Structure 1
């Protein structure tokens, strides 16, 4: 399948939030694509408690703005909370912050610390992206929600909220939601060989369609899987596309709880993270905790046609995304993560947000490095 055809099909499923309408349908589609590698791919269903947002907003006497509750924060009743609004950390009843969605990319991030330590009765946060639409924060603590109610609103509302906060205006905040049992799925494919295996790891769900955020990693995952199916292998391969990245990595936690050695004892984990081949932003972080491996991946990227100057090569440091799960469990990894001006925004769609040339180069480079690890 050509790259453009892949992304057009990928985009057609619409929202693929874990537990949502497009989730299982897109998982089955990916399973079918993985089956084309020649070995059986299958779904591993993951049960979890899903947060379902109800009508939520912030208002003054003359204006009301709809929003989305934080999925791992507190909630209000329909009456809500009334009080003065002011900067996060002030004495105001309702704190205000503006930030990029990536600022909450790791557990224990500064915003989570501010929520935990805050004395605000509620918080409203405006999420800033290229389009300044509503770009939700990931819910790392979905199973252990904490802190005051937090209402997420579009970044375009930041100026209005900032002005209200500057004069301590009175606002009303309602952040409602409920929980219900839900079902998602990891997609897994195995290629025969001796162990410990090479693990190809990528997340597959997200807040919206997220074509650049997730599609580039999935395209590289499929490309590498198909390439590995055709080479003589001395090492086994496990390809795992996990659900619930946006909800505390629930799919990865499920997989590593069932098979504890998969994270810690795989020969290598190739983590295909967010925003691989996104348009407008060629910056690409290649990080590994194995000496020389991030440099080797960078060389493969350049050989495949990726420009060298925007590649940031790092060894060690704090891993991000699902690579963080590998690092925490003592595993060996190499991770690729890019930038995205539409990050977590609904406007991240084909063809606007995809650079086909760079996406294809990443997929070819990953396949080449993966082949070196198994032959």
Structure 2
């Protein structure tokens, strides 16, 4: 195996995790996302890797107010970006809880979400919300949070085809106030005052040419956007992505061309990756392998998973993880891509290896280096990915 890239040194990884965190909130097209594009290109350039910023259009959600108000209190939150909006001034109706036998004209509090019912935040929640809208529900409030009660947000899987009912996500630490409002009864006003605007964001893309133009290329992809600082959710994949590019650039030669893409739009149904694939329609199925560096790689207390499109890739990846001393992860069944960007590749019949997972502060504003970063763990995972990648070059 070629020498392990210097970028996989834990000290270098820590510096990159902290740099990524310092850009702030990384939502698609926000300043932190744009700064990440500039930074990634500068890091690649320092290693002699030419890159470009690939612009793409996306529906940007602008929110003026997201609040539930009742007679003696209120709570602010975040709307589901693929849900509906209220008119200015909001919608007023009686409060009810999920399971209410007469939900028509009411604002429902998803009390079962406080007990761990995942249907409110599932990727395919559209049908659930559409059914409630058909019953005449005016709006819905979903209390959900991390272990300390801070808000966590659901990805907007239906951003291009949003459902109609407005849904307000609020931190679970406010649940006691919502329960008190339910017991008190009476009316409340839900304000989800926002709009979807045409905007643009950027992917970072690069190509390291191989010596054999007839050989199927490899694609190394990682998302770069997310709801908050996303230090552990996105940072590990980004640090490894940079290290793999630097390591390959330092090799004297390689047979296969390797493409690199750090995509924005992750939290919006993978909008950036979709654009990348749209511009390269043959690549989804035509690549030798897509290596997906997904969520929470090397995070503290991560729930880690690995998947691969076929038995050969699955076995090679399992062996690479073992050689790096990595244990305690879930090896998904062969052919299962999980919920990250590898599913886009699987839908097109492409081959992939995917690394992904969650951690206690996943999709929370508390996903910071101090709470969730573990550079030594990221380094171990990165070493395994280097083994996988270099084993695919010939």
Describe how 1:78-227 pairs up with structure 2 within 5 A.
Answer: 78-90=88-100, 91-92=102-103, 93-97=106-110, 98=113, 107=123, 109=124, 111-118=125-132, 119=135, 120-165=137-182, 169-193=186-210, 194=213, 195-227=215-247
Contact 2:126 2:163 in 1 (8 A): no
- What does residue 365 of structure 1 align with? 384
1:9-88 equivalences under 5 Å are: 9-88=19-98
Range moving further from structure 2, 210-219 or 19-28: 19-28
Equivalent pair of 1:101/1:135 in contact (CA under 8 Å)? no
State the match for 1:236 in structure 2: 257
Which ranges of structure 1 fall in alignment gaps of 5 or more residues?
Answer: none
Shift of 1:252: 0.8
Distance in 1, Cα, partners of 2:29 & 2:163: 22
Deviation for aligned residue 1:326:
0.6
Q: Structure 1: which 4+ aligned runs deviate by more than 6 Å?
A: 99-106
Q: Note the alpha carbon deviations across 1:56-108, whole angstroms, 9 max, x for none.
A: 2112111111112211111111222222333335333122222679877875x
Q: What whole-Å deviation, never above 9, does each CA across 1:30-69 have from its counterpart, x for those lacking one?
A: 1111223433111111122311011121121111111122
Which whole-Å deviations, capped at 9, do the CAs of 1:258-316 have from their partners, x for residues lacking one?
Answer: 111121211101111111111123x311011211323322321232232x233434312
Number of corresponding residues: 371
Separation (CA, whole Å) in 1 of partners of 2:278 and 2:371: 38
Q: Which moved more, 1:296-305 or 1:138-147?
A: 296-305
CA root-mean-square deviation = 2.1
1:151-185 C-alpha deviation (Å, 9 max, x unpaired): 11112122333454467553221111023232210
Scaled by the length of structure 2, what TM-score is found? 0.88
1:273 has 2:287 as partner: no
- 8 Å CA contact 1:131–1:347 kept in 2: the answer is no
Instruction: Answer yes or no: is the 8 Å Cα contact 1:95–1:123 preserved in 2.
Output: yes
Taking a change above 3 Å as real, the CA distance of residues 310 and 353 of structure 1, as seen in their structure-2 partners, is: same
List gaps (5 residues or longer) in structure 2: 1-6
